[in-house]
Chain A
Amino acid sequence: MNTGQTLLITVGLLLFSIFILTVYRTTTSRFAFAIANEALLSGTAIGQSLIDEITLKSFDEKTVDKVVSVPDSLTPVNQLGPDSGEKDVTTYDDIDDYNNYERTETLSRLGNFKAWSKVYYVLPNSPDIKSGTRTFAKKIEVYVQNDFVTDTVKLYRIVTY
């Protein structure tokens, strides 16, 4: 076997190795996409469940058992969160109790899904803008994260009184 033939065989094996590596890389990324899709599906369902749960609560601690006619009677901006005596989700009775709330759901295939929420006042006529004062509109933001989701799932809903 002369040098030319050896060189041809070496180049051939090298090209074939590159081909094999490309196949493995492509397949791995297809698997990753499939798992990410599944995680996205499950993550969205978990996020929707949390947002539904929050939405069904009263608009504000002050509206649980009475009617409020002016925004200044609502919970102050810097006090959004669980009220005194509300130590866990079973005692939460209004939307903003879920401000900075966090829970973990575990699924057998994809492991832990960390879901957390933020609740804040928004301008009723421009609900994308956070309000520095009390208004009759609150925005609920829910985030879900899992090791297999490439980005955080973000869901939101605006609730008005």
Chain B
Amino acid sequence: MSSLIDIITATFIGAILILMIIGINFYIENSSREITNANIAQMNVKEIAEVLDYDLYKVGFRVPDSKILIADSTRLVFQSDIDNNGKIDTIEYVLGSPNELTSTPNPKDRILYRLMNNGPRRGSNLGVVDFKFTYYDSSNTVLSYSSLVSKTQRDRIKAIGYYVKVESVFPVEGYYPGAEIKKTIRPKNL
């Protein structure tokens, strides 16, 4: 009788231990994936911000007129001698549609395209889920998107703000780790 109780107790303790080991194994694996994905999202958001900063600081460089051609919430077209070769270039940023990335598990990810001189749409999936431009005049007042259809209003733009939110393409336990950044650039040539 005593040995039977010993066997039952040992089996019970063994089962608990195995369950704990399986649980901790899942936890380590999920947290590791979540942290790795969060780090990737941070790197992606930093890369996007660096490219945007580089371009936006140069808006209107060597352009006498019509420095900004289109100014919308997710689309910006501006002119600048971006590569410093004496020739004015047209740069366009536009956010793609979520329908372009239906094969990825994240339903919200989109491609942020950068087009130069109306060239082909180029951009890789960095997991952008939210992206918005904001435009300010010289007194730091936000200009409404509807007013920026007019060239006179676009000429009032003195600062361009952007907000980027990036999420991982693959979920971890149904959650998409991400990162975000918000910055306002004041191009010297506006």
Given contacts A16-B17, A108-B165, whether A52 and B184 have CB atoms under 8 Å apart is yes
Taking a contact as CB atoms under 8 Å apart, the answer to whether B140 and A109 are in contact is no
Q: Does B159 contact A (CB under 8 A)?
A: yes
Interface mask (B156-185 → A, CB under 8 Å = 1, otherwise 0): 000101000100000000000011111111
Determine if A46 is an interface residue (Cβ-Cβ < 8 Å): yes
Within 8 A of B (CB), among A1-43: 1, 9, 13, 16, 20, 23-24, 27, 30-31, 34-35, 37-38, 41-42
A121-B183 Cα distance, complex, nearest whole Å: 27
Is B6 within 8 A of A42, CB to CB?
A: no
Asked if A30 contacts B35 (CB within 8 A), the reply is: yes
CB distance from B4 to the nearest CB of A (A): 12
Question: B28 near A: Cβ within 8 Å?
Answer: yes
| Interface pair B140/A90, CB less than 8 Å apart | yes
Q: Of B24, B46, B159, which contacts A41 at CB under 8 A?
A: B46
Tell me the residues in window 89-121 of chain B with beta carbons closer than 8 Å to chain A beta carbons.
Answer: none
Contact of A90 among B13, B139, B165 (CB under 8 A): B139
Query: How far is B6's CA from A35's CA once the two chains are assembled, in angstroms?
Result: 48
B75 at the interface (CB under 8 A from A): no
Determine whether B20 belongs to the interface, using a CB cutoff of 8 Å to chain A. Answer: yes
Given A20, A53, A56, A109, which contacts B180 in the complex, CB threshold below 8 Å?
A: A109
Select A108's contact among B34, B46, B180, beta carbons within 8 Å: B180
Q: Do B42 and A53 touch across chains, with their CB atoms under 8 A apart?
A: no
Nearest Cβ on chain A to B52's Cβ, whole angstroms:
11
Q: Is A91 an interface residue (CB 8 A)?
A: yes
Question: A1 vs B10: C-alpha distance in the bound complex, in angstroms?
Answer: 9
Q: In chain B, what residue has the closest Cβ to A52?
A: B186
B141 within 8 A of A: yes
Partner of A9 from B13, B161, B165 at Cβ < 8 Å: B13
* A-side interface residues, number (CB < 8 Å): 31
Bound-complex Cα distance A35 to B49 (A): 18
Q: Is the CB of B9 within 8 A of A1?
A: yes
B93 CB to closest chain A CB (Å) equals: 17
Q: Is the CB of A38 within 8 A of B179?
A: yes
Q: Are B28 and A23 in contact (CB under 8 A)?
A: yes
Task: Please give the distance in Å from B6's CB to the nearest CB on chain A.
Answer: 5
Q: Report yes or no: B31 in contact with A34, Cβ–Cβ below 8 A.
A: no
> Are B31 and A31 in contact (CB-based, < 8 A)?
yes
Q: Would you call B45 an interface residue if the criterion is a C-beta within 8 Å of the partner chain's C-beta atoms?
A: yes
* Interface contact B184-A107, CB-CB below 8 Å: no
Q: How far apart sit A78 and B147, CA to CA, in the bound complex (Å)?
A: 42
Point out which of A105, A109, A110 has the most chain B C-beta atoms below 10 A from its C-beta: A109
In the complex, whether B54 has a CB less than 8 A from a CB of chain A is no
Cβ-closest chain A residue relative to B177: A34
Specify which chain A residues have a CB less than 8 angstroms from the CB of B20 in the assembled complex. 16, 20
Contact with B along A46-88 (1 / 0, CB 8 A): 1011001100100000000000000000000000000000000
Within 8 A of A (CB), among B4-60: 6, 9-10, 13, 17, 20, 24, 27-28, 31, 34-35, 38-39, 42, 45-46, 49
Asked if residues A34 and B186 are in contact (CB atoms below 8 Å), the reply is: no
Contact (Cβ within 8 A) B182 A107: yes
B interface residue numbers (CB < 8 A to A): 6, 9-10, 13, 17, 20, 24, 27-28, 31, 34-35, 38-39, 42, 45-46, 49, 130, 139-141, 159, 161, 165, 178-186
